[in-house]
Amino acid sequence: MRNVFLFIRRYFNFVFFVIIQIVSLSMLFKYNRFHEAAFMGVAGEFTGRISEKYNKVEYYFQLKKTNEALVNENAHLRNLLKQDFLPPDSTQKIVVDSIRIDSLERFRRYLYMPAKVVNNSVTSQSNYITISRGLKQGVEKDMTVVSSEGIVGTVINVSNNMATIMSLLNRQSRVSSSLKKTGETGTVEWDGNDPQVLTLRNIPKSARVNIGDTIVSGINSSYPPGQAIGYVTAVEAEKSSNFYSLLLKPATNFFNIQFVYVVKNLQKEEQDALEKATHKQDLQ
């Protein structure tokens, strides 16, 4: 307390001047409309700039929650896409116990489950991605994985709460694909060198291919049809065959991938059982 009194005594004149100055300015701004308006304008601009800076900082620290919310919303929207449902055969009208069956009902084929990437590699010839979603969250081996931009890879190992994905940037990866514009089919693979370059093989030279054309997953692929794989950057004619080799830029940016969607084919077991029975009949 003694130090406080000593401070006031030493700087009394300065403190008194500051107090009088504040009182004078407050009276000036309060009883003079012009000065009040000018002060409010300056104060509003100053506080606005402070608020803008604060909001930017706050927004930066809220990006994680924002990204997670967007991923969950995208998963919900993907699960509503028309192409993820298969309509039944409506060429016949089925009536059971006089109850009309709606032939326009659609059956879901693909289910999208969001997942956070916790580990990712792009510099190896055998690149893998680890996600924080596993058996307890519905992930199974051989499920495909996509991003908001395009395909990512295939689940090869699963634990209770995590899963490992063989990335598209893996020399063992093969994806059945097609030209989005004309429909010719081929196989996309990676040679293990440049992570920005994929190769699409077995495209016939009769196909009309242009730089920038989109390559998507085909109907023979384990991925949902129409998922972007890459974009044509170069067309190379193979001298010893009637096919093109197309160089592609991957649709998915594997350098900064943070969220993915694990795709569950709800009709896979039925399709596999049917095809297995068909092959068994051919062998008999």
**Confidence category of residue 80, pLDDT binned at 50, 70, 90:** low
pTM passes above 0.85:
no
Rg for the chain, CA atoms, rounded: 32
Is 249 within 8 Å of 197 (Cβ atoms)?
yes
pLDDT over 60 at 276, yes or no: yes
Helix (H) or strand (E) holding 173: none
Tell me: the pLDDT tens digits for 136-182? 999 999 999 998 889 999 999 999 999 999 999 999 999 999 999 98
Tell me: the pLDDT tens digits for 174-217? 999 999 998 899 999 999 999 999 999 989 988 889 999 999 99
Asked whether residue 257 falls in the same domain as residue 134, the answer is yes
Asked whether residue 128 falls in the same domain as residue 237, the answer is yes
Asked whether residue 131 falls in the same domain as residue 202, the answer is yes
- For the chain, the domain total comes to 2
Asked whether residue 143 falls in the same domain as residue 206, the answer is yes
Asked whether residue 44 falls in the same domain as residue 136, the answer is no
Instruction: State how beta strands 110-120 and 95-96 pair.
Output: unpaired
**Of 61, 78, 102, which residue is a domain's last?**
61
Task: Tell me whether residue 67 is in a domain.
Answer: no
Asked whether residue 184 falls in the same domain as residue 241, the answer is yes
Asked whether residue 36 falls in the same domain as residue 122, the answer is no
Asked whether residue 132 falls in the same domain as residue 15, the answer is no
Task: Tell me whether residue 80 is in a domain.
Answer: no
E runs forming strands in the chain: 85-86, 95-96, 99-100, 107-108, 110-120, 126-131, 144-146, 151-158, 163-170, 175-179, 185-189, 198-204, 214-217, 228-237, 243-250, 259-265
Task: Tell me whether residue 86 is in a domain.
Answer: no
Asked whether residue 123 falls in the same domain as residue 180, the answer is yes
- How many residues in the chain? 284
Q: Structural domain of residue 44, as residue ranges?
A: 2-61
The C-alpha atoms of residue 115 and residue 35 are separated, in whole angstroms, by 58
Asked whether residue 194 falls in the same domain as residue 252, the answer is yes
Q: Which two tokens stand for residue 273?
A: 């059982």
Asked whether residue 33 falls in the same domain as residue 116, the answer is no
Q: Which of 251, 247, 254, 220 is nearest to 232 (CA)?
A: 247
User: CB-based burial of residue 150 (10 Å sphere; 0-12 exposed, 13-18 middle, 19+ buried)?
Assistant: buried
